[in-house]
Structure 1
Amino acid sequence: MGLVIRLIELLLVLVPLVGAGYATYRAVMSARGRAEPELPPATGTAAAASRRAILRTVEEHDRTDTRWLDYEIDVAKLLDYPLMTDMRDPLTERFHRAKLRADFLRPADPADLLDDRHAMREYLEAVQEYVTAFDVAEAEAIRRRRAAFSREEQDRLTRAQRLLRVAADTAATPQERDRAYRLARRELDGLVVLPERARVALERGISGELGD
């Protein structure tokens, strides 16, 4: 009889402990379940930061392209600072190589980079190199102007600049424009490569005047 009483007393002690343990377990699991929805905001914040970084980089890419466009469409300016297209100069070559890489890595849609951190990092670094290389090349081109060229080469650049003004002048006759353009190309041969955009614009304008 004494043994039975002891067993009953032991059960009375253990049952509340088991119940408390189970209640604690339920509480912990419930708390974990409530904590899980807090993860997406952190992930969303990181995605938003990445999106802002990508958009800022695209804008910087566009700004640098616009700065380069000034040289592409303004031949007179280009011939004032011919180093910008002189591929013999390592700073100029670096700038053009960096531009090609940045253009190649530029996404059609910035959102495409959000799920590819490697591609995003490559593009951000490429644009930074492009901007830096352009700044350095332009600063050197402005500093040196035509100093990198001999006196004879500088004279050729001056003649070419004068001839290209005639080639772009709609008040000149088509024949005058065509002849001036051909002579300018001859003067620039081996010195400066006209950007394709400027060359095409001049040739189309002259071709249109000639009725080709």
Structure 2
Amino acid sequence: MQDFWNFAGNFWWLIFPIMGMAGGAAKAWERSSKQRHERRLETLRLKGELKSQQLAARGAVAPARAPRQAAGDEQASTKQLLEKLFAEHDEITARWLDYELDVAKLIAFPAMSDGRQPLTAAFLRAKKTADTLRPASAEAKLSETQIAEYLDAVGNYAVAFDVAERDARRLRNSTFSEAERKRLDRAQHMLKVALDESATQAERQIAYKRVRDELDGLILLSDEAVDALEKQVAGELPPA
């Protein structure tokens, strides 16, 4: 016990950075918890809305046409809900691809493509779950349990992406060594040359090769990102 107090007396100043780190972690947890709570409320609201529409469809039709008409109205309300979920699902995926396919963003925020980062890994798991549970179409015949599972999955996907994105923007390149950060800076500079339309094609190709060399072993570029970058360097126009 005396050893502990001797250590505390000599290194008392460590309490300040430790408190700062703990405070930052607590704030991040509080934000993510708030997002999860808000998403749960939204999920409950949508479930309640779906149930109300289904009950209204079953009870607001003439008796002679009730079964068939109610089934049609219930299917219509389910379709509307699925279309909303598809739109949100696609929006999150598009935001993720904006990082995944943009080499400049990957260099600036490398954690977004690093599955070793806990929050990025959690996002990728949420993405896989949402993609797996996504119905083939809005007209698909689903049980209430299947709809609820997909709704929850999209909600978790949205929250996981927001948390991972915020963390990646906080970290930037801080997880790399000083030498690696210099390589990232050089890659960022050479990328500007490679995409500079005023540079010659030879200059752009040399700069592109330098970008690949500097990123080798630091950031893994997907085949799609490489293909998109090569087309930009070559000056190809995107498809209409």
Instruction: Report the TM-score when normalising by structure 1.
Output: 0.69
Q: CA deviation at 1:65?
A: 2.0
Q: Which runs of 5+ in 1 are unaligned?
A: 1-33
Q: What is the total number of aligned residue pairs between the two structures?
A: 175
For residues 30-109 of structure 1, the aligned pairs below 5 Å read: 35=63, 37-40=65-68, 42-109=70-137
Which of 148, 170, 186 is 1:159 aligned to?
186
Q: CA deviation at 1:66?
A: 2.5
Q: Which amino acid aligns with 1:69?
A: L
Pairwise CA RMSD: 2.7
The residue aligned with 1:174 is 201
Q: Which moved more, 1:163-172 or 1:85-94?
A: 163-172
Question: Do 2:100 and 2:113's aligned partners in 1 also have CA atoms closer than 8 Å?
Answer: no
Question: Do 1:82 and 1:192's aligned partners in 2 also have CA atoms closer than 8 Å?
Answer: yes
The residue aligned with 1:22 is none
The residue aligned with 1:132 is 159
Q: Which runs of 5+ in 2 are unaligned?
A: 1-61
Q: CA deviation at 1:89?
A: 0.6
Q: CA deviation at 1:101?
A: 3.7
Give the SS at the match of 2:111: helix
Q: CA deviation at 1:98?
A: 2.6
Query: Which string of whole-angstrom CA distances, capped at 9 and with x for unpartnered residues, describes residues 68-120 of structure 1?
Result: 233234332332221111122121122223324433443442112x3454543
Question: Do 1:167 and 1:202's aligned partners in 2 also have CA atoms closer than 8 Å?
Answer: no
Question: Do 1:72 and 1:196's aligned partners in 2 also have CA atoms closer than 8 Å?
Answer: no
Work out which of the two has the higher radius of gyration on C-alpha atoms and give 1 or 2: 1
Tell me which of the two structures has the higher relative contact order, counting C-alpha pairs closer than 8 angstroms and 6 or more residues apart. Answer: 1
Instruction: Report the TM-score when normalising by structure 2.
Output: 0.62
Query: Which string of whole-angstrom CA distances, capped at 9 and with x for unpartnered residues, describes residues 158-190 of structure 1?
Result: 111111122222322222222222221222122
The question of 1:191 aligning with 2:221 is answered: no
Give the Cα separation in 1 of the matches to 2:76 and 2:182: 55
Give the Cα separation in 1 of the matches to 2:95 and 2:124: 13
Q: Which amino acid aligns with 1:192?
A: I
Identity in percent: 46
Question: Do 2:194 and 2:204's aligned partners in 1 also have CA atoms closer than 8 Å?
Answer: yes
Give the Cα separation in 2 of the matches to 1:132 and 1:49: 25
Q: Which amino acid aligns with 2:168?
A: A
Q: CA deviation at 1:130?
A: 1.8
Give the Cα separation in 1 of the matches to 2:235 and 2:107: 25
Q: Which moved more, 1:118-127 or 1:149-158?
A: 118-127
Give the Cα separation in 2 of the matches to 1:156 and 1:85: 17
Give the SS at the match of 1:110: coil
Structure 1 residues 159 and 195: CA distance shift in structure 2, 3 A: same
Give the Cα separation in 1 of the matches to 2:63 and 2:107: 65
